[in-house]
Amino acid sequence: MEYNFTTIEKKWQKYWKDNQSFKTVSKPTDKKYYVLEMFPYPSGKMHMGHVSNYTIADSIARYYKLLGYDILHPMGWDAFGMPAENAAIDNKTHPAEWTLKNIANMKDQLNLLGYSYDWDREVTTCLPDYYKWGQWFILKMYEKGLLYRKGGDVNWCDHCNTVLANEQVTAEGTCWRCDGEVTKKKLEQWYIKVTDYAEQLDADLKLLEGYWPDNVIAMQKNWIGRSVGAYINFNLDDGKDFPIFTTRPDTIYGVTYMAIAWNYDGLLDMCTPEQKNAVEEFIKKSAKIDQKTDYEKEGVFTGRYVVNPFNGEKAPLYAANFVLAEYGSGAVMAVPAHDQRDFEFAKKYNIPVKVVIQNADNSIKAETMTEAYVEDGIVVNSDILNGLSSRDAIKRAIEYATEKGFGKEKVQYKLRDWLISRQRYWGNPLPFVHCEKCGVVPVPESELPITLPMDIEFTVGENPLKKSASFVNTTCPKCGAPAKRETDTMDTFTCSSWYYARYTDAHNDKMPFDPASANAWLGVDQYIGGIEHACMHLLYSRFWYKFMRDIGLIKGDEPFNRLLTQGMVLANSYEAKSLKKFYTQEQMNNKEYEKDGIKKEDIIVKMEKMSKSKANGVDPAEIIELFGADAVRIFVMFVAPPEKDKEWSDEGVKGSARFLNRIWNLFLKYKDEEAFKNAKSFDYNNLSKDGQKLFRKYNKTIKKVTIDIKDRFHFNTAIASLMELLNDMSTIKLANNDDYAMFREVIRGYLILLNPIAPHITEELYQILNFGKMIIEESWVEHDEQYCKDDTFELVFQVNGKIRDRIEADVNISEDDAKNQALSSDKVKQFTEGKNIVKVVYVKGKLVNIVVK
């Protein structure tokens, strides 16, 4: 009987769909399991990264279903975003049409892999039934003082024609999405005050330790950036307050200049008339710098001085390109002797260096320093702090500032408020209007959702919404006068920050979701996605969850109980460096590089993440057509542990297909044998020696596979164990009816163990071999510990430490019997006859070593 994977896979996919096999129960028991992968942007075509991520999640969901859990395993679409709008410009089609068509295509592709989604809970973020509630949340944040509007310098991508949050600018100073140049621009923008939750976001990371990857927790901790220091109020030379934050108040007497952000609000008003032009030019120059890159640290004197409240000394005030207006007060105290950046700046502008921390041998001299001394030490040249250690001086400086009323201890965070304004059409409209009389006015909840207009012309340039008269022109909800609707739309991360909660009650039209449903399912028991989302999506989702808790919608503190960050799928890329051109594997096979005048040895081969730009992607649909969905699923789960990168290999997929064919042929070999068909039960003691050995191997395999999946999700080692068991099953000779009954039980258990990873072939064989219920209705198999212990073991015989023979010995063999068997072995005798036996050493359960001369 041929293994026709195409027919079999279509058959079971249809069955699962028609019978709603994965429909979620409305009210789960306490034994519930919510598994969720980060939902995709509907680009229209699934890639191998999707396959890897979703196969991990599906295998986990199917495993827990077999354990008897109520499962929630939904899927949806993160459907707003710039690619749809850019496609509208390129293809003269509406973003909605483009997006919904892509969703239909990707849904068909996902279904090819037999994933156990409950499609009744599907969410699509670009549809009004979803984004209405995003607008509702924004209004709630506005009511609570968490949403505000302010002007300022923003990151601007000319290519995407929109604002980017700081997190969306790469380390190279380019746009995270299009890789275009990012510049600064002054705009009025909407912000969510996530900084109000900074303390909770930082503290609650402790709840995730041991459940989230350590590196993700570290990345979030670094992004939140909690630091304890001192708030010190210096004064400008005209007496005005000039507050700063420092984590090193022990160096306060070493301040020789002050630095203020180049984009500090009111900087020009602060300058002396003589220096104003120079500062203006410096501001223009600094606006072109991306502070994430390695740029030259520069500044310009403002003409003003700042008075140190500790000693009354005046320090010159410089506008500097390395100070962030958004962090702290937008100004810093500079201690060149003990901060490398301050030191380099001071040397560049001939600013004095004053040593206030001395090392153990008292060798730090300002005039001979070539770099800053940044270690702890003993404080010198610092009046009330002299003689103290750095740590003690920090405490004393804060105490003194507090006593005198010009400072206090303060906790500060690097985390900035979330800029959510985007000057694009294809996003969730912000529910506000602008009235000349009333100012900014929120839209009443009864008028939600504010839907996107269809009379839009898509061109490169200004935000299309501004050109839509039907959208822009409205009346003020407060006074009834003519007003203009807000044309900024929201950052797409606002959509993906709460979708996991909507899945619990996906079609509620009265509220975002029913709290009872949400509390029954949340938090997500296992969340799966890429580590690239550690500092944006995951942080914003944690904030949003806490906000939903605070307005009474939800219980708990964190949305995702466990996080798995899956590795990337890699494949060979082939680059002709001189042409800046990449070739596909097929083009390499056809030697198409020769047409470009390129030699094979000039092609640079690298194992890299699959991507269009590197021409090293593999189309999952094509691979499924060639080898079947189960073979693809087996490959991506077997090639590496889920958190590690996976190297694509055509041979690897072929190997997975051969493995499935072996299972098919071996198991069906017994289908028509009467002893197999009629097998009922068996007695272990009646099994042949080989039968007992296989049954013990089977129980040990159950135990190992269960541990590998449940404790670590290491499906790769689970598959390896099943491959080993298959080898033993392939060679056994069944000797009696008990052997046949045992073998039938082993096949049944084998199919259940493999089912979460390869659901189609296992379900088909389960039915052909008449095991009764469907596997999806079965329970996970359990091992019997008594059969996980071997009756025999391999006893090695050595002569002078070299192996000369092996036998299978009873586990209860005595020392005397073991030594006698070794001495009587013909193979051993070849090396002991005629020689003096010095001693015989027995290592229990392992070996006998005969020492001869």
482-485, strands of its sheet edge to edge? 439-442, 432-435, 482-485, 473-475
Degrees (nearest 5) of the Cα angle 422, 131, 198? 65
Tell me the average pLDDT across 201-206. Answer: 98
Pick the more confident residue, 84 or 111: 111
Burial class from Cβ neighbours inside 10 Å (0-12, 13-18, 19+) for residue 383 reads exposed
pLDDT at 727: 98
Do residue 240 and residue 293 come from a single domain? yes
Q: Report the CATH number at residue 43.
A: 3.40.50.620
List C-alpha distances in Å: 16 to 11, 52, 568, 570, 776.
9, 22, 30, 32, 10
Do residue 22 and residue 99 come from a single domain? yes
Do residue 373 and residue 390 come from a single domain? yes
Q: How many angstroms separate the CA atoms of 686 and 31, rounded?
A: 39
Q: Does residue 288 belong to any structural domain of this protein?
A: yes
Do residue 721 and residue 839 come from a single domain? no
Range of 530's domain?
5-127+497-565
Which tokens hold the place of 106? 């990707």
Q: Does residue 809 belong to any structural domain of this protein?
A: yes
Q: Does residue 607 belong to any structural domain of this protein?
A: no
Tell me the average pLDDT across 680-702. Answer: 96
pLDDT at 460: 65
pLDDT at 85: 86
> Considering its fold, how many domains does the chain have in total?
5
Tell me the average pLDDT across 93-115. Answer: 95
Q: Does residue 210 belong to any structural domain of this protein?
A: no
Do residue 288 and residue 384 come from a single domain? yes
Domain end call among 508, 533, 565: 565
Tell me the average pLDDT across 58-66. Answer: 98
Q: Does residue 573 belong to any structural domain of this protein?
A: no
Tell me the average pLDDT across 78-92. Answer: 87
- Asked whether residue 381 carries a pLDDT value surpassing 70, the answer given is yes
Q: Report the CATH number at residue 325.
A: 3.90.740.10
Do residue 231 and residue 268 come from a single domain? yes
Give the largest CA-CA distance in the chain: 117
Q: What is the DSSP string of 655-723?
A: HHHHHHHHHHHHHHHTTT-HHHHT-----GGGS-HHHHHHHHHHHHHHHHHHHHHHHH--HHHHHHHHH
Which pairs from 794-797 meet CB under 8 Å and 24+ separation? Answer: 795/821, 795/846, 795/847, 795/848, 796/846, 796/847, 796/848, 797/821, 797/822, 797/825, 797/827, 797/828, 797/847, 797/848, 797/850
Do residue 359 and residue 472 come from a single domain? no
184 is in an annotated binding site: no
Pick the more confident residue, 294 or 499: 499
The answer to whether the CB of 292 falls within 8 A of the CB of 170 is yes
- The 10s digit of each residue's pLDDT in 477-518 is 999 999 999 999 999 999 999 999 999 999 999 999 999 999
pLDDT at 292: 62
- Asked whether residue 99 carries a pLDDT value surpassing 70, the answer given is yes
- Asked whether residue 58 carries a pLDDT value surpassing 80, the answer given is yes
Which pairs from 798-801 meet CB under 8 Å and 24+ separation? Answer: 798/847, 798/848, 798/849, 798/850, 799/828, 799/831, 799/832, 799/849, 799/850, 799/852, 800/831, 800/849, 800/850, 800/851, 800/852, 801/849
- Asked whether residue 613 carries a pLDDT value surpassing 90, the answer given is no
Do residue 11 and residue 61 come from a single domain? yes
Domain end call among 460, 490, 520: 490
Q: Does residue 477 belong to any structural domain of this protein?
A: yes
* Most trustworthy range by pLDDT among 150-164, 744-758, 807-821: 744-758
- The 10s digit of each residue's pLDDT in 12-51 is 999 999 999 999 998 999 999 999 999 999 988 899 999 9
Do residue 817 and residue 692 come from a single domain? no
pLDDT at 281: 95
Tell me the average pLDDT across 338-355. Answer: 97
pLDDT at 176: 75
Residue 611: pLDDT band (50, 70, 90) is confident
- The 10s digit of each residue's pLDDT in 431-442 is 999 999 999 999
- The 10s digit of each residue's pLDDT in 304-316 is 999 999 999 999 9
Mean pLDDT, the chain, whole residue set: 94
Q: How many angstroms separate the CA atoms of 601 and 599, rounded?
A: 5
Sign, CA dihedral 343-347-353-357, equals positive
Do residue 162 and residue 237 come from a single domain? no
Residue 817: pLDDT band (50, 70, 90) is very high
Residue 463: pLDDT band (50, 70, 90) is confident
pLDDT at 461: 65
Do residue 740 and residue 822 come from a single domain? no
Domain end call among 522, 548, 565: 565
Q: Report the CATH number at residue 690.
A: 1.10.730.10
Nearest residue to 39 (alpha-carbon basis) of 27, 24, 54, 52: 54
Tell me the average pLDDT across 796-809. Answer: 95
Burial class from Cβ neighbours inside 10 Å (0-12, 13-18, 19+) for residue 777 reads exposed
Q: Does residue 632 belong to any structural domain of this protein?
A: no
Do residue 373 and residue 241 come from a single domain? yes
Q: Does residue 571 belong to any structural domain of this protein?
A: no
CB count in 10 Å sphere of residue 283: 18
